[in-house]
């Protein structure tokens, strides 16, 4: 008897949790890169931040994912602390959508939903269609898991020992409310999913094992327990990210404290919106939503004060973020965010390379530009681009190893890695060109007029090639990128022509062995830049 109960409850809970994970994962894939675009519209307007928090959390069906993602943005300095607090407020409301999904009470349809979606997932070819099937399968598992748990717990109602156990944390007094809230917080902290605890709470209430009042108290505690995920995520984060996580805990804890202090009045207030005698699942979902909405209304005017308070209390730890990109480890849980941010970072690499092209061009027309400081500036850019490439590669390979990502994301990751790798190499050759020009300048030598003319022409052609490639990448236009093959051929033909006739450039009296050697090195470096830009074309063509 006992084993039968344990097996059904454990099996139901496992299927429920797996369903939540599948549904959340599917929703994230469908939202994809839109997640970052939603958060990109954030301004200092706290109300917009709250709305975005509600929307994003409802979209991914996980407050833990959206909160950790938001804290990752703070850690990467993409969001301010005040903006993050607004998003976290919104996430608290958005996560209550799960309760309303459970209100549908279609447990008997869970199994056929899982079956149909699983079959569809096997036979469908489109990535998006497969992801939709996965999401529906997750939703079916949620209802199937709840049904199994509910059926498994039915016999418990007639077992006095279990009834006495549940009565230990019955919310029939102020102390009982506190105990029930503490149990809700503890269980949620352990499973790190308020949705899972909410599902268990509803199941216990539906079977009559706990009272409505106890269920409401448990839900209150679940709001505190869910903040543990964010705190754990910030163990190695910067101080601002820690402040955001602490704010999440403070807000939810204070909310629970004031509600428990007026718990009987709060229950009467909830009766305005739902009747627990008619539909206890809806009543619990209502309690969950009302608590978070009221809490947000109360605390929203104090976002600025809370941020200032945390800045004073949680002191800077002196740690310096030595990452050069805005790709944070906390973002790795959301593949679409990483891919979209990587595109931004590769765009920054492109801007830095264009600066190098512009500075090198100036060196041909004005030798006074060739100072030690200028060379150091370009070397700093080149060193930074090395770091960009390393951080982009490290983060994207983590995502690439995730078997759950779809082909579209995998293709974007592949393109990002190709472009960042080739851009970094292009910067190496631009630095070599700079070093060759500096060597000629330091030895008080000069190139012949024809050599300068050829180098400037190669520089112009190579820079035009780079600009076209970069524009094609930024616009996600593979056709434009492939059309750049014309630029590649022009550079190759020009290099071959120069190499074939280079002796003509060196016959003038001003030519020296060093100047001629460096001239040949420089035109070869331009050719190598062209080769690496051509690799990007080939990378897009091989898809």
Give the tens place of pLDDT for each residue, 484-498. Answer: 888 888 888 888 888
In a domain, 323, yes or no: no
**Measured between alpha carbons, how far is residue 231 from residues 221, 227, 308, 395 in Å?**
16, 7, 19, 22
Residue 322 lies in a domain: no
More confident residue, 106 or 345: 345
- pLDDT at position 242: 84
Residues 183-233 pLDDT 10s: 888 888 877 777 778 888 888 888 888 889 999 999 999 888 888 877 877
Q: Examine the fold and report which residue of 250, 281, 313 is the final residue of a domain before the chain moves on.
A: 313
Cα–Cα distances in angstroms (integers) from residue 268 to residues 213, 275, 296, in the given order? 11, 10, 20
Residues 284, 430, single domain; the answer is: no
Same domain, 305 and 346: no
Domain range for residue 405?
A: 329-541
Does the structure show a pLDDT above 60 at 542? Answer: no
pLDDT exceeds cutoff 90 at 529: yes
8 A C-beta contact, residue 292 and residue 93: yes
391 and 251 assigned to the same domain? no
Q: Same domain for 307 and 335?
A: no
Please give the DSSP secondary-structure letter assigned to residue 519.
H
CA distances from 362 to 350, 437, 446, 518, 523 (A): 19, 11, 15, 18, 17
- Domain contains 113: yes
Q: Is the dihedral of CA 24, 27, 28, 29 positive or negative?
A: positive
How far the first Cα of the chain sits from its last, in Å, is 58
Q: Specify if 320 maps to a domain.
A: no
Phi, psi of 315 (to 5 degrees): -75, 155
- Quickly state the pLDDT bin for 69 (edges 50, 70, 90): confident
Residues 451, 376 within the same domain: yes
Query: Does the residue 28 lie in any domain?
Result: yes
Question: Both tokens of residue 415?
Answer: 């393109």
Say yes or no: 290 and 397 in one domain.
Answer: no
- Could you tell me if 342 and 309 lie in one domain? no
In a domain, 159, yes or no: yes
Residue given tokens 């199937």 in the structure block: 144
Q: Please state the domain count of the chain.
A: 2
In a domain, 39, yes or no: yes
d(CA 178, CA 184): 10
- Statement to judge: residues 175 and 80 lie in one domain: yes
On the CB side of 533, how many CA atoms lie within 13 Å of its CA? 37
Q: What is the domain-level CATH number for residue 485? A: 1.20.58.220
Last residue of a domain, one of 249, 282, 313: 313
| Residue where a domain stops, chosen among 263, 280, 313 | 313
Chain CA centroid to CA 196, Å: 23
Asked whether residue 457 falls in the same domain as residue 499, the answer is yes
User: What are the structure tokens assigned to 299, written together?
Assistant: 């605390």
Residues 6 or more apart whose CB falls under 8 angstroms from that of 79 comprise: 39, 42, 70, 73, 87
Sign of the C-alpha dihedral computed for residues 339, 340, 345 and 346 taken in this order: positive
Residues 272 and 247 in one domain: yes
Of residues 417, 427, 340, 343, the one with CA closest to residue 385? 427
pTM over 0.75: no
Q: Are 302 and 343 found together in one domain? A: no
């Amino acid at each position: 008897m006992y084993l039968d109960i344990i097996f059904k409850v454990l099996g139901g809970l496992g299927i429920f949790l797996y369903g939540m994970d599948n549904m959340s994962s599917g929703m994230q894939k469908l939202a994809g890169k839109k997640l970052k675009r939603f958060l990109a519209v954030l301004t200092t307007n706290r109300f917009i931040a709250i709305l975005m928090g509600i929307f994003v959390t409802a979209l991914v069906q996980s407050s833990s994912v959206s909160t950790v993602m938001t804290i990752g943005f703070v850690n990467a300095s993409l969001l301010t602390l005040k903006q993050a607090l607004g998003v976290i407020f919104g996430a608290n409301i958005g996560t209550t959508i799960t309760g309303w999904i459970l209100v549908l009470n279609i447990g008997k349809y869970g199994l056929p939903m899982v079956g149909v979606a699983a079959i569809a997932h096997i036979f469908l070819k489109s990535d998006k269609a497969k992801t939709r099937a996965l999401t529906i399968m997750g939703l079916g598992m949620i209802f199937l898991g709840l049904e199994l748990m509910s059926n498994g717990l039915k016999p418990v109602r007639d077992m006095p020992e279990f009834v006495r156990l549940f009565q230990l944390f019955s919310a029939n007094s102020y102390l009982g409310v506190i105990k029930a809230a503490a149990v809700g917080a503890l269980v949620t902290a352990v499973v790190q999913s308020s949705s899972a605890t909410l599902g268990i709470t509803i199941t216990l209430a539906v079977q009559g094992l706990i009272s409505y009042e106890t269920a409401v108290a448990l839900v209150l505690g679940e709001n505190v327990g869910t903040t543990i995920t964010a705190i754990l995520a910030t163990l190695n984060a910067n101080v601002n990210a820690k402040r955001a996580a602490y704010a999440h805990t403070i807000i939810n804890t204070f909310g629970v404290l004031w509600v428990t202090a007026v718990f009987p009045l709060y229950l009467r207030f909830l009766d305005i919106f739902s009747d627990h005698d008619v539909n206890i699942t809806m009543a619990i979902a209502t309690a969950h939503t009302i608590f978070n909405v009221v809490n947000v209304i109360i605390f929203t005017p104090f976002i600025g004060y809370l941020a200032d308070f945390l800045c004073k209390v949680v002191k800077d730890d002196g740690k310096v973020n030595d990452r050069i990109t805005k790709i944070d480890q906390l973002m790795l849980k959301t593949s679409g965010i990483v891919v979209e941010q990587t595109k931004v970072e590769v765009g920054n690499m492109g801007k830095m390379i264009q600066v190098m092209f512009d500075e090198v061009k100036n060196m041909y027309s004005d030798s006074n530009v060739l100072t030690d400081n200028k060379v150091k500036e370009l070397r700093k850019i080149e060193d930074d681009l090395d770091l960009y490439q390393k951080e982009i590669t490290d983060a994207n390979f983590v995502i690439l190893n995730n078997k759950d990502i779809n082909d579209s994301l995998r293709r974007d990751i592949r393109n990002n890695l190709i472009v960042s790798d080739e851009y970094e190499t292009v910067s190496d050759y631009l630095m070599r060109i700079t070093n060759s020009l500096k060597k000629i300048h330091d030895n008080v030598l000069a190139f012949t007029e024809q050599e300068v003319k050829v180098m400037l022409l190669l520089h112009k052609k190579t820079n035009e090639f780079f600009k076209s490639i970069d524009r094609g990448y930024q616009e996600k236009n593979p056709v434009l990128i492939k059309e750049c093959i014309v630029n590649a051929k022009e550079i190759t033909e020009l290099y071959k022509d120069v190499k074939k006739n280079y002796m003509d450039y060196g016959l003038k009296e001003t030519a020296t062995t060093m100047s001629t050697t460096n001239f040949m090195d420089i035109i070869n470096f331009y050719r190598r830049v062209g080769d690496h830009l051509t690799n990007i074309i080939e990378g897009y063509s091989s898809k």
